[in-house]
A and B are shown apart, each in its own frame.
Chain A
């Protein structure tokens, strides 16, 4: 993984010192809250319902055991012993005290971490395929390009005050596991006409109040021009994006108002006259950054392991975990193992400090010192020898982290909602827990098959409800929490925004409604169909009828 050089290290330390001074001035009265708010937001510090919330950047979801242990220590020392992994591969602490934040940031800097670009109208922490560098279907590791974008965007003078926040995601694999079509810019590494790798560039995707699937602005961008081309997109947005209305300020609104053709024309015109030689990185610098992400030395092993096969036959829970949480690796005899943070009863995405320490130990023992965070709020050990799976699984059982529900119904995405968040209109965590309870039977989840259920407690859509196969949105209707259900969303390659199926449900009626939707799918599905396949074939009518009766 990337290691800070002297510049990175000095810069992050300077930011800690600067913010320490700003906190002191706030507490001494030299800064009012109005003056202080934008400064704290520049450092990832929000004021939420119950307390301050600190959002820590985990660049493209990659963590070392040392970093994870430091996060655990921070949770114990300055918070309440747990944190929340988010849909942007970040970590949030919910109960930090303002007076402690400078020391907390210094502790983060000790392990090359910070909270910069986790808030504010800047280019946010870039996200990526969590299986990057490990996945069997990967054309090229996206992490060096994430790191290049990180270094380029941090403190970029032209793009420090964009009309609104700006999110970029990169995938280098055949399957999109980073929801790139729902980002301001989505990049997919593809093979070009001359056999060279480059980027397919999507622009204007997003969730929130006005969801859009990103549109292709360029089918192939030579890799060496990534920065200059992204810069041209950002320049056109920075000049023409709306600043008068926060709800219309994202690039998706601009792209859809101008139309993709006109937007592309403007970007290409800017790019044609831009100083590519001054912006694009020289080859040797690209190679230098790539060298930090050199694949670990994994001697090939037999693709089959007898121990695993024996265990699979006699241990149904292990077999389920193996089927869903273990993903193929590019090196024979290795796999990536997903550690689900979605055990029934758990707040989705929450992990205690003890669990973080525990996973750090596992990463050292089983995964050449690497941990990943997935945008679906799980942790991943990317490089595990297949032969080690029984031992790893036994450890996970011991640590209460062996739930085998990755990408099944129980693996819900869920935002903090009205239990924590100042923007929320309704709670999401208790609904998620109740749905998890209703569908706790692993055999039933197995029968249902892959199903992405995403839930947000407000229209800002941190819980990605628009892209859920089943999406739930909590709203406030005259003081009562009400939940709108949408169906047919898809975060992957055939990305789609879900369709609202009808009037909303009161909280206590939501699990039954989800059950009705699932049963309607099961009653209608053809052999081998997923929920999404059935939805795409039969449409909304059978679901509407099951939920609301015949029209």
Chain B
């Protein structure tokens, strides 16, 4: 399963992902994918630099699913984080979409 790296932005705490363009994005779809263990390690090394540069905090890798070319978080927690919103639901018991 592909992995990406997520964090919170230092200045405002907003959820971000290490992006394809090398920066940090709020959009899950713009996250850079790691397909192998080595690629995940490379993403983590890059994220560690961003921590040192005071861009982000609370960095960790997470698995995602690709469906019809779109990136989906797996856990309820990560789907809520990716939505950047609270209690926004399609069906109330469903997680945010």
Task: Give chain A's interface residues, CB within 8 Å of chain B.
Answer: 26-29, 33, 47-52, 94, 97-99, 347, 418-420, 426-427, 429-430, 433-434, 476, 479-481, 506-508
Contacts and interface: CB of A to CB of B under 8 A. Distances in A.
A27 B54 contact: yes
A508 B11 contact: no
B87 A479 contact: no
Contacts of A426: 76
Contact of A427 (B58, B81, B84, B87): B87
21 contacts: A27-B11, A29-B54, A33-B57, A47-B8, A48-B13, A50-B14, A51-B8, A94-B86, A98-B10, A99-B12, A418-B80, A419-B86, A419-B87, A427-B87, A429-B86, A476-B76, A479-B76, A507-B93, A508-B91, A508-B92, A508-B93
A29 B53 CA distance: 8
B11 to A, nearest CB: 5
A50 B13 contact: yes
Size bracket of the B interface: 20 to 34
A430 B92 CA distance: 6
Contacts of B51: 33
Interface centre among A26, A426, A430, A480 (most CB of B within 10 A): A430
Interface string B25-54: 000000000000000000000000001001
A27 B10 contact: yes
Which applies to chain A's interface (DSSP): helix, strand, loop or mixed?
mixed
Contacts of B87: 347, 419, 427, 429-430, 433
B76 A50 contact: no
Contact of B15 (A33, A50, A479): A50
Nearest to B8: A47
Given A50-B15, A51-B14, A98-B12, A418 B76 contact: yes
A249 B1 CA distance: 39
B12 A49 contact: no
Interface of B: 8, 10-15, 51, 54, 57-58, 74-77, 80-81, 84, 86-87, 89, 91-93
A355 to B, nearest CB: 18
Contact of A51 (B13, B75, B77): B13
B9 to A, nearest CB: 9
A536 B91 CA distance: 37
A49 B15 contact: yes
Nearest to B85: A50
B93 A49 contact: no
Contacts of A51: 8, 12-14
Nearest to A46: B13
Contacts of A434: 92-93
Contacts of B8: 47, 51
Given A52-B12, A98-B12, A479-B76, A47 B58 contact: yes
B68 to A, nearest CB: 22
Nearest to B10: A98
Interface centre among A49, A434, A506 (most CB of B within 10 A): A49
B65 to A, nearest CB: 12
A98 B13 CA distance: 7
Contacts of A429: 86-87
Closest 8 CB pairs of A and B: A419-B86, A508-B93, A51-B13, A97-B12, A507-B93, A52-B13, A33-B57, A429-B87
B11 A99 contact: yes
Contacts of B15: 49-50
A433 B86 CA distance: 13
Given A26-B10, A97-B13, A419-B80, 13 more contacts: A27-B10, A27-B11, A33-B51, A47-B58, A48-B13, A49-B77, A52-B12, A97-B12, A426-B76, A429-B86, A434-B93, A479-B76, A506-B93
